[in-house]
Structure 1
Amino acid sequence: MAHEQHQQLIQTLHECVGACNHCYDACLKEEDVNMMAECIRLDRECADICAFLEQALMRGTPFASDLAAVCAKICEACGNECQKHDHEHCQKCAEACFKCAEACKEIA
């Protein structure tokens, strides 16, 4: 199967989607939601591109390196934003995003 060569990246992308979705949901429940607006926006952006790349890799996309480059950029932006917040969900999300960004750069 075409996706076997990217199995580790597919798993990392899946974990990043989960972390971003959890962070998104938790940020919406924070007392000062307005302060979390950029974090929430980037959580959605990151989860969406990671989920898309995960599916594309499983299909054997010929655009893997191009998509991975965009994904890495968005993951870094999300990680940088989440890192600014002390909430545990934000810190865990930042960690997942940075891990994913590095994995994406390997095939970009």
Structure 2
Amino acid sequence: MGVQRIRSKQEGFQLAHEQHQELLTALHECMEACNHCFDACLKEENVKMMAECIRLDRECADICGFLEAAISRNSPFISQLAQVCAEVCEACGEECRRHDHEHCKKCAEACMKCAEACRNVA
């Protein structure tokens, strides 16, 4: 049982996850930003006001982690998952932009960067 490889015209053979290295980096950074934002939002004075941000932080971190794992195992559904991930990242980023907290601003930036990277693969 060998490691599955993809043939690229410019680079010869490469491991499947190497083809998506930029996306993997964006996914991991987004997941970390969302987890940090989630935790920080729970500590805000008006947690109820942050409920949608908290919910979307969890959704986004989860889909980013799932897509990261799917890429590492060369799932045949990478393109479809990337499309869903882009939508979730964008929704989370838009929600985070509504708040003035520094953790929300950083999360919004990571989400939008990740959404773009996902769209490039989808």
- Fold in common (TM above 0.5): yes
- How far 1:2 moved relative to its partner? 1.4
Superposed displacement of residue 87, structure 1: 0.1
TM-score (norm 2): 0.88
Which of 15, 19, 29 is residue 15 of structure 1 equivalent to?
Answer: 29
Partner of 1:56: 70
Which of the two has higher C-alpha Rg? 2
Secondary structure class of the residue paired with 1:60: coil
Q: How much does 1:8 deviate?
A: 1.1
- Map 1:80-91; keep pairs closer than 5 Å: 80-91=94-105
**CA offset digits 1:51-78 (Å, max 9, x no partner):** 0000100111111110000000000000
Residue 73, structure 1, aligned to residue 87, structure 2: yes
Runs of 4+ in 1 over 6 A off after TM superposition: none
**Alpha-carbon RMSD:** 0.4
Q: Which residue of 1 aligns with 2:114?
A: 100
Number of residue pairs the alignment of both structures matches:
108
- 1: distance between equivalents of 2:89 and 2:22? 17
Query: Take 2:75 and 2:19, find their aligned partners in 1: how far apart are those partners?
Result: 12
- Structure 2 residue aligned with 1:45, among 59, 68, 75? 59
SS of equivalent residue, structure 2 residue 44: coil
TM-score, structure 1 length as denominator?
Answer: 0.99
- Answer 1 or 2: which has greater helix percent: 1
Inter-partner Cα distance in structure 1 for 2:115 and 2:83: 9
- By relative contact order (CA 8 Å, sep 6+), the higher-ranking structure is 1
Unaligned runs of 5+ in 2: 1-14
1:24 aligns with 2:38: yes
Deviation per residue, 1:2-32 (Å, 9 max, x gap): 1110011101100000000000000000000
Q: Which amino acid aligns with 1:96?
A: A
